[in-house]
Amino acid sequence: QVQLVESGGGLVKPGGSLRLSCAASGFTFSDYYMSWIRQAPGKGLEWVSYISSSGSTIYYADSVKGRFTISRDNAKNSLYLQMNSLRAEDTAVYYCARGRGYRNDYWGQGTLVTVSS
Amino acid sequence: QSALTQPASVSGSPGQSITFSCTGTSSDVGGYNYVSWYQQHPGKVPKLMIYEVSNRPSGVPDRFSGSKSGNTASLTISGLQAEDEADYYCSSYTSSSTLVFGGGTKLTVL
């Protein structure tokens, strides 16, 4: 069965950096584009970024462009999100999700990122 | 990248039909048939309920249906059940090749 397991969240100070990982299993990872989607506490979903199956095509939300970098390692079945210059408003649960035809059909359990001094 | 517009809350009684709206622009909802709907119970992971406007993934009850007219997409739940109480989010592909979500609608089953 499809499994997505995020890791790397935690408490970081404003201006700091964090790298999130998502380990995928149960499907051919290299066949699918992947997304990061976040949800601030008590708030709605916000799409962050997606990367194509080969990694050649990447898009970001304006709110994170220039600060976040998405990447993948198909040999390791892993997705990453490098987050730099973190702000309080980046505090959220970050989900990785499998993409298919501009929908996200499987989601991980999420990892909490808290940006606070 | 403005969020799609959804009503904050809707409510209905068991057995009723209810419809959620999701309003965007011609650059997102109106321009593409890539509207998805997600259900999220409190403390749980979002679940895909509808994709490409009106398609249901396997395992989603046929009580859930989707449609679109112009810049507004809709999710209808017929035969409302207590377990349907959750937050519902729409999402659309955009002309910028990005994705955008709505603010979400909280469904209360009375």
Q: What is the pLDDT of residue B72?
A: 98
| Residues written for chain A | 117
Q: What are phi and psi of A31, to 5 degrees?
A: -95, -10
Q: What is the pLDDT of residue A112?
A: 98
B27 pLDDT more than 70: yes
Average pLDDT along chain B: 96
The whole-number average pLDDT for the span B38-62 is 97
**pLDDT tens per residue, range A49-96:** 999 999 999 999 999 999 999 999 999 999 999 999 999 999 999 999
Looking at chain B, which runs of residues are DSSP E strands? Answer: 9-12, 18-23, 35-40, 47-50, 64-69, 72-77, 86-93, 99-101, 105-109
Q: What share of chain B is helix, strand, coil (3-state, %, to 5)?
A: 5, 50, 45
> In the predicted model, what is the mean pLDDT of residues B17-29?
96
Query: How confident is the model at residue B2, as a pLDDT?
Result: 81
- A→B interface, C-beta within 8 Å: 35, 37, 44-47, 50, 59-63, 95, 101-105, 107-110
pLDDT in tens, B76-99: 999 999 999 999 999 999 999 999
Predicted local distance difference test score (pLDDT) of residue B88 = 98
**Tens digit of each residue's pLDDT (9 = 90 or more) over A84-98:** 999 999 999 999 999
How far is residue A81 from each of residues A32, A49, A116, measured CA to CA in Å?
17, 9, 19
Q: State the average pLDDT for chain A.
A: 97
**Residue A100 confidence (pLDDT):** 87
Q: Chain B, 12-51: which have a CB under 8 Å from a chain A CB?
A: 32, 34, 36, 38, 40, 45-48, 51
pLDDT higher than 70, residue B1: no
Q: What pLDDT score does A101 carry?
A: 81
Q: Determine the pLDDT at residue B60.
A: 97
**Interchain pair B99, A109: CB under 8 A:** no
Please state, as a whole number, how many other Cβ atoms lie within 10 Å of the Cβ of residue A33. Answer: 21
Nearest beta carbon to residue A45 from set B57, B98, B101: B101
| Residue A81: predicted pLDDT | 98
Nearest residue to B50 via CA among B41, B42, B59: B59
